[in-house]
A and B are shown apart, each in its own frame.
Chain A
Amino acid sequence: MGSYLDTVLTVSGLNEMIKGALERNTFLVTGEVTGFNLSKGKFVFFDIKDESARAGCFMMAFRMHTPLEDGMQIKAVVKPSLHVASGRFSLTIEQYELVGEGALKKAFEETKRKLEAEGLFDPARKRVLPRIPERVAVVTSNEAAAYTDFLRIIENRWRGLEIFLAPVSVQGVNSVDEICSALRWLNENMELDAIVLTRGGGSLEELQAFNAESVCRSVYASKIPVISAVGHERDVVLTDFVADVRASTPSNAAERLVPDVREVIGEIGYFVDRIESYVRRILDGLTRDVRECVLRLEDVVTSKKDRVDEMVRLLGAYNPMRVLERGYSVVSTSKGVVRKKGDVAQGDVLSVRVQDGSIESEVL
């Protein structure tokens, strides 16, 4: 800035110039929200103040990723501006985050209530992850311990996974935009089995991006299933409720995502055992059947043999030789066997058959 005394400006002209000069700057400011007002559902107005000064702020409602209320302390990236017609000075909010537990807890409760009422936490919409994934993306800071922890567990457990890192800030004023942008980009540009949204532990302030309404909505809108693995076991963030799977830590996310290769090898062995035992059962069954048939055949043969023996005995009883042994004889002439007195005439030669031979005799 300097002295511009060569030209006489109109008020509009001056205001335009000052507006131009102001808008070339960006500042980081902290202060308390007061006089919050949402106009027509589209425009957000409030004053930001400290003990001795205040300034008017403006933001588009759709850029409000976390609810703001009077009394909340915020840190914001602002661009100063001047409204030409009114000469009014104001700050345009480009990014912001909440400061202090009070503000953060309030925002958390309000967002949770709102999203739950809209059905974003509905268990029915949570998709099942494939048992064996092939391609996944991790949305996190590439300097974070969370990332290296996750990779290490994957290496210990599984093989053949393609992992894409989408580097983002996981805290700070830019984190909300970066996370939303990454989730959207992955959905539009990649075929994936899952997205892991993760960071390590931190304070409520440091984790606040994962409680932001817009991040939650991006997770809900993701067509690719999302695992939320934020902070430590005890840290609960709103993305945990919206995601398809909540993991307690980045390491736990790796455990939920891939099976243990040793277990899978064991399962394959078990499959083989089951097939083997089934085939053996069939074979045993068949052997049993064959043995039964043989036994039945043996029965049949034995009973037939008994029948034959019986018939032989009966035949034996009817053997004519037996009759002769008892003293009977068979008398015959040249004409045949003599059965009646009339079969013979005087002088006929008779052949009398007894058990050991024949006796010749004559009819008297």
Chain B
Amino acid sequence: MADTKTGDLIAKYKKLEKLVEEFESGKIDLDAGIEKFEEGLKMADECRKGLEKLENKVVVLKEKFGL
């Protein structure tokens, strides 16, 4: 599922959420922090752009249901 565009987006969103948790739990020192901060900004940007570009898709199943 992660290789679809939406799956990709969801994965990035979750990574970003986890990054925020890591920061706020105090586990990150300053050196690592600057790098992760930049990484976080990049992911946020990609998420936002991704959301603007995605489209919904509708498929009508050809299967006939019933006995």
Contact = CB atoms under 8 A, between A and B. Distances in A.
Contacts of B9: 132, 160
A297 interface: no
A286 B63 CA distance: 65
Given A271-B17, A282-B30, A151 B58 contact: yes
A283 B66 CA distance: 66
Contacts, number: 111
Interface in B1-44: 1, 4-7, 9-10, 13, 16-17, 19-20, 23-24, 30, 33-34, 37, 40-41, 44
Contact of B61 (A155, A164, A283): A164
Contacts of B52: 159
Nearest to A155: B56
Interface of B: 1, 4-7, 9-10, 13, 16-17, 19-20, 23-24, 30, 33-34, 37, 40-41, 44, 47-48, 51-61, 63, 65-67
A166 B60 CA distance: 7
Given A181-B67, A272-B44, A164 B59 contact: yes
Main secondary structure of the interface of B (DSSP, over half): helix
- Size range of the chain A interface in the assembly: 35 or more
Interface of A: 132, 134, 137, 142, 151, 154-155, 158-169, 174, 177-179, 181-182, 185, 191, 261, 264-265, 268-269, 271-272, 274-276, 278-279, 282-283, 286
> Chain B CB within 10 Å — which of A142, A160, A261, A269 has the most?
A160
Contact of B56 (A158, A174, A191): A158
